[in-house]
Amino acid sequence: MMRTRPLKVALLGCGVVGSEVARIMTTHADDLTARIGAPVELAGIAVRRPGRVRAGVPEELVTTDATALVKRDDIDVVVEVIGGIEPARTLITTAFEHGASVVSANKALLAQDGAALHAAAEQHGVDLYYEAAVAGAIPLVRPLRESLAGDKVNRVLGIVNGTTNFILDKMDSSGAGYSEALDEATALGYAEADPTADVEGFDAAAKAAILAGIAFHTRVRLDDVYREGMTEVTAADFASAKQMGCTIKLLAICERAADGRSVTARVHPAMIPLTHPLASVREAYNAVFIEADAAGQLMFYGPGAGGSPTASAVLGDLVAVCRNKVAGTTGPGESAYTRLPVSTMGEVVTRYHISLDVADKPGVLAQVATVFAEHGVSIDTVRQQGKDGEASLVVVTHRAADAALSATVEALRKLDTVRGVASIMRVEGE
């Protein structure tokens, strides 16, 4: 039987995503009612600057008092799309205290305080859903939290930031330098005026923390994620990658250790073979590759940002939360029973591509090889080119621990024959 009393929704934020959420709730009201089993009504929209509310948003619903809105006794669900830590955190916990479930797209807050927010939701018997916080329209949270709940996930490897993928794709396809590719991304609206959160990996690191926590049933905070930006990637790096049959992507990598006793989460540029599915992800698209014991290899692909794609994920969560309200139940909460420690980057084992500027004279290769051997790092291939007393030496290692590689590089810098370390890049996806 259809419930007649409408479920009332408070919307916090009415920018690109929020205005699209409001539009879909209005234009698809009948479909949402049929899918939920009850009418759903937008009861209020909290904004900081009412003069900037977009066309089509009902003016009578707009308020600048977000706290009063989430404290209303008739609000069933709060949709938070304002971002940042505060006032979002206080508004969400206040909503919980007043019996409202929350749908959020706030990756930064969830990566920092996800455990506390989950605990508060459980305490008050409400839901916390956040599909839109990770990869826009791409379903990732629910497949990991529900579809793969009976499986053992070992690795999550993905491109989770469209801005960085656009820049790197342009560098790869056109031979452009980083600055040129960034300028194009900015002109097309893919990059913010201040792109730091994207190009330095902060955005991807927050998403990695969320994905790792869900995938491995343990608590992973933003501070646990190793982060390295992509601003130092050069056209020369792409040329080296092509010689190896690779391209370069900014990857979020979450892994369970081989012995199952720890996990790692990291974000950094990496060479990836052209044969890997992630290598073909172009423009501003996102894709995530999941490896699990029973399911094997799965790939999720699509637009990872933007008003409509992100609103799609928000509305999917809204329908799920409203269905739970109608049924008088809640969905799955935090699963952190494994309590696995998060290893440091020094313990991560992978392959490396190292480019050295060296003197062009006999014995240099032997010296370099000796340093690698002394630190227990095995060399896979070496390529040397020289002219007029200067040379470049490119070394690709077998798998080695990051700490061992770092010690090797420090020792190489002390050799008189090594003029400098041009670049160091990890090789993933093999």
Catalytic residues: 207
Distance CA(118)–CA(145), nearest Å, equals: 14
Per-residue DSSP letter, 342? B
188 burial (CB, 10 Å; 0-12 / 13-18 / 19+) is: exposed
Closest to 10 measured CA to CA, from 109, 85, 98, 113: 98
Closest to 131 measured CA to CA, from 334, 311, 264, 326: 311
Distance CA(417)–CA(367), nearest Å, equals: 9
Closest to 253 measured CA to CA, from 152, 138, 132, 343: 343
Token reading at 320: 């799920």
Contact 107, 203 (CB under 8 A): yes
Distance CA(210)–CA(26), nearest Å, equals: 31
Owner of token pair 């971002």: 83
123 CB-side CA count, 13 A: 12
Closest to 3 measured CA to CA, from 25, 45, 32: 32
Distance CA(378)–CA(395), nearest Å, equals: 10
**Directed axis angle between helix 162-174 and helix 235-243, to 10°?**
70
Closest to 253 measured CA to CA, from 333, 152, 345, 334: 345
Per the DSSP assignment, residues forming a β-bridge with 273 are: 246
Per-residue DSSP letter, 347? G
Distance CA(245)–CA(276), nearest Å, equals: 11
Phi, psi of 8 (to 5 degrees): -100, 135
Closest to 282 measured CA to CA, from 159, 138, 133, 156: 159
